């Protein structure tokens, strides 16, 4: 499994799945979530509403993940995950952040996908600094790769708009 950190817009990635740093409602929001919903168009929102109705009527729990179609995006799927809000976990929360990454990889594996692009989950509005989140994210992916050597996933890409986030993820990869 190749892990990389690149600059760019996650909505334009040529991968099998992109990860949405969603809120528990799955019905859109700001930041990455809003950008993905805008780029994917109304079919994504319709898929999210169906998931809420059929599987998560109270919302997607923090640390879990679920896939939907990708609407107008180049990707085949959007994998939604809810990261922890830093202020709600002042002592840690790293287990929930790691779970977000692992669950996204498990969902991608269930769909037999080969490539997945992650944003910096929980960074930004959810209050995590990239320097805190990056090592947790990279370690979660590496642990998954070590525990699942037969995985269909060949490429895990962290797509980062912010220069500081790119530097933090590149540093965590070294």
Q: Where are the domains of the chain?
A: 2-173
User: How far apart are the C-alpha atoms of 105 and 77, rounded to whole Å?
Assistant: 13
Q: Which residue, 146, 138, 129, 142, is CA-closest to 170?
A: 138
The CATH number corresponding to 2-173 among 3.40.220.10, 3.40.50.10090, 3.40.50.2300, 3.90.245.10 equals 3.40.220.10
User: How far apart are the C-alpha atoms of 64 and 73, rounded to whole Å?
Assistant: 22
**So which residues are the catalytic ones?**
33
What confidence score (pLDDT) does residue 92 get?
A: 84
pLDDT above 80: residue 91: no
User: How far apart are the C-alpha atoms of 105 and 29, rounded to whole Å?
Assistant: 23
What confidence score (pLDDT) does residue 89 get?
A: 81
pLDDT band at 44, cuts 50/70/90?
Answer: very high
Contact 168, 130 (CB under 8 A): yes
Contact 48, 27 (CB under 8 A): yes
Specify the DSSP element, H or E, that contains 150: none
pLDDT above 80: residue 90: no
> Per-residue DSSP letters for 21-47?
E--TT-S--SHHHHHHHHHH-HHHHHH
Specify the DSSP element, H or E, that contains 153: none
pTM: 0.96
């Amino acid at each position: 499994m190749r892990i990389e950190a690149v600059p760019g817009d996650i909505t334009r990635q040529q991968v099998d799945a992109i990860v949405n740093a969603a809120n528990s409602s799955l019905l859109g929001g700001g930041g990455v979530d809003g950008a993905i919903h805008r780029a994917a168009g109304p079919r994504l929102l319709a898929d999210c509403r169906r998931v809420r109705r059929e599987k998560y009527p109270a919302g997607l729990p923090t640390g879990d993940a679920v896939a939907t179609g990708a609407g107008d995006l180049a990707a085949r799927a959007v994998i939604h995950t809810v990261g922890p809000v830093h202020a709600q976990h002042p002592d840690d929360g790293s287990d929930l952040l790691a779970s977000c990454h692992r669950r996204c990889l498990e969902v991608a594996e269930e769909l037999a996908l080969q490539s997945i692009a992650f944003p910096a989950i929980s960074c930004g509005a959810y209050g995590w600094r990239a320097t805190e989140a990056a090592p947790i994210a990279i370690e979660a992916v590496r642990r998954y790769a070590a525990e699942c050597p037969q995985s269909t996933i060949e490429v895990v890409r962290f797509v980062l708009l912010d220069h500081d986030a790119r530097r933090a993820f590149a540093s965590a990869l070294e």
